[in-house]
Amino acid sequence: MRDKPSVLFVCVHNAGRSQMAAGWLTHLAAGRIEVRSAGSAPADQVNPIAVEAMREEGIDITGEQPKVLTMDAVESSDAVITMGCGDACPVFPGKRYEDWQLDDPAGQGIEMVRQVRDEIRTRVERLLTELTS
């Protein structure tokens, strides 16, 4: 048994929503939770607008790279949060799954990305409370 829960955030490109969610949880959990993110079809780089939106909140995700979703990553996570990857996301019995319906920030301006960022923060705060209480 691990000493802390692990969460995997998954979206298609692992460039926007899942990276912002991982950034928020890493920041807010302050080491209490193992945080991962991946994509079913990873992009070449993290969305620069998502990076900018997170920087406004004092969270630096510039060092992140989109990663490919693996069965191992899902299997070794306690909670899997998907964001619009549909059937591409594998399911394992006994895992906690949530699908967060969030607009895709790809190709969007900073105003829209800020809204998604703030919605993600609210959901991450709720998830953190559930995992640590």
Q: Using an 8 Å Cβ cutoff, are 114 and 56 in contact?
A: yes
In a domain, 1, yes or no: no
pTM of the model: 0.93
- Residue 18 belongs to what domain range? 6-128
128: CB partners within 8 A, 6+ apart: 25, 28, 29, 33
In a domain, 23, yes or no: yes
In a domain, 53, yes or no: yes
- Domain with 21 in it: what CATH number? 3.40.50.2300
DSSP state, residue 58: T
In a domain, 21, yes or no: yes
Given the residues 85, 102, 120, 128, the one annotated as active site: 85
**pLDDT tens-place string over residues 38-91:** 998 999 999 999 999 999 999 999 999 999 999 899 889 999 999 976 666 667
Given the residues 11, 49, 51, 74, the one annotated as active site: 11
Tell me whether residue 53 is one of the annotated catalytic residues: no
Given the residues 46, 61, 89, 131, the one annotated as active site: 89
Indicate the Cα dihedral angle 35, 40, 41, 45, nearest 10°: -10
Tell me whether residue 89 is one of the annotated catalytic residues: yes
Tell me whether residue 70 is one of the annotated catalytic residues: no
In a domain, 11, yes or no: yes
Domains contained in the chain, number: 1
